[in-house]
């Protein structure tokens, strides 16, 4: 295949690789968030991620462990929310559709999370 | 456009091939939603290389509209994804054909630029209209890698077809 390449093709190939490496760098160096936003039963609750905490919400157990969070136990059938494992980067989220549950990680906003304590 | 009859014949034949390829490709399973080889772009590249840019534009847009009517996805999100990808890849092809000299850039670079434009256009469309969340961009590296691989494969196929059909096209055996 490389025999039919002309001179300019390597330029385009290099461009392609640069774009790929840039997107990979963005992908790998995502800033880790510090707020866990939980949408459950028509209300949004925010927790700080810099703590160790276990939260019980209905049939779901959520675990926060110094910068990352997961759903440790759920009563749903497929257990997709548990299998997602830990999340720590901004905009990562875990859904549990049977329980109408969503949790997302976001950056610190100026408002203080008074619901934490 | 004052198209001659031969031009219309060529566009119709090439779009028929492209529609068949696109429809066949729709039924292929894919691990990620929207990850497809894009084998119909072989025909678009072929049209661009053997005829001109306008016939490539015609073939691509006719392919998108007619195959969406056949598959029943006209005016659904799938159609808009396909349409935005086709538009942006054609835009990339137009820019590339204006700036790149065919002496130094072969079919491979045109194919790679088209696939890159396809991915970028689709992601802009998805981010603006379908999934309004920055989490969509997690998928960008995967799609770029596969776009690169499939672009090389498609360009290889077009290259092979060109080598076979160059003499026949000059003798007007395939096309009127």
Calpha distance A49→A32 (Å, rounded): 10
Q: What pLDDT is recorded for position B29?
A: 85
A92 token code pair: 């990562």
DSSP code per residue over A1-31: -TTS--HHHHHHHHHHHHHHHHHHHHHHTPP
CATH classification code of B5-165:
1.10.1760.20
The domain locations on chain A are: 1-30, 35-112
- Across the range A67-84, mean pLDDT stands at 87
Per CB-CB distance under 8 Å, the chain A contacts of B133 are 91
Neighbouring C-beta atoms of residue B49, cutoff 10 Å: 17
Residue A5 touches partner B, C-beta closer than 8 Å: yes
**For A87, which DSSP code?**
B
Residue A8 dihedral angles phi and psi, to the nearest 5°: -70, -20
Q: What pLDDT is recorded for position A2?
A: 58
Given a cut of 60, whether residue A1 has pLDDT beyond it is no
Could you tell me the end-to-end alpha-carbon distance of chain B, in angstroms, rounded to an integer?
20
- Across the range A70-85, mean pLDDT stands at 88
The domain locations on chain B are: 5-165
Residue B99 touches partner A, C-beta closer than 8 Å: no
Residue B97 touches partner A, C-beta closer than 8 Å: no
Per CB-CB distance under 8 Å, the chain A contacts of B156 are 1
Calpha distance B169→B47 (Å, rounded): 12
A20 → closest Cβ in B113, B141, B152: B141
Q: Which fold has domain A35-112?
A: mini-chromosome maintenance (MCM) complex, domain 2 (2.60.320)
* CA A8 to chain CA centroid, nearest Å: 40
């Amino acid at each position: 295949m490389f025999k039919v390449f002309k001179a300019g093709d390597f330029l385009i190939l290099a461009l392609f690789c640069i774009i790929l490496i840039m997107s990979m760098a963005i992908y790998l160096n995502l800033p880790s968030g510090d707020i866990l936003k939980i949408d459950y039963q028509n209300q949004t609750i925010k927790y700080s991620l810099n703590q160790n905490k276990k939260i019980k919400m209905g049939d779901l157990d959520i675990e926060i462990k110094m910068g990352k969070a997961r759903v440790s136990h759920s009563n749903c059938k497929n257990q997709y929310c548990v299998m997602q494992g830990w999340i720590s980067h901004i905009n990562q989220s875990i859904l549990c559709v049977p329980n109408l549950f969503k949790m997302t990680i976001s950056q610190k906003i100026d408002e203080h999370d008074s619901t934490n304590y | 456009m004052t198209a001659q009859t031969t031009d219309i014949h060529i566009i119709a034949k090439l779009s028929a091939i492209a529609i068949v390829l696109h429809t066949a490709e729709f039924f292929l399973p894919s691990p990620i939603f929207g990850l497809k080889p894009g084998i119909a772009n072989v025909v678009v590249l072929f049209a661009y290389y053997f005829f001109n840019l306008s016939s490539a534009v015609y073939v691509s847009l006719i392919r998108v509209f007619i195959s969406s009517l056949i598959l029943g996805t006209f005016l659904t999100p799938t159609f808009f994804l396909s349409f935005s990808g086709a538009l942006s890849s054609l835009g990339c092809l137009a820019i590339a054909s204006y700036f790149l000299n065919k002496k130094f850039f072969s079919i491979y670079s045109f194919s790679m630029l088209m696939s890159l434009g396809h991915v970028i256009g689709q992601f802009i469309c998805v981010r603006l209209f379908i999934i309004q969340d920055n989490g969509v961009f997690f998928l960008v590296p995967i799609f770029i890698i596969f776009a690169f691989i499939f672009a090389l494969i498609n360009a290889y196929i077009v290259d092979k077809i060109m080598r076979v059909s160059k003499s026949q096209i000059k003798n007007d055996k395939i096309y009127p």
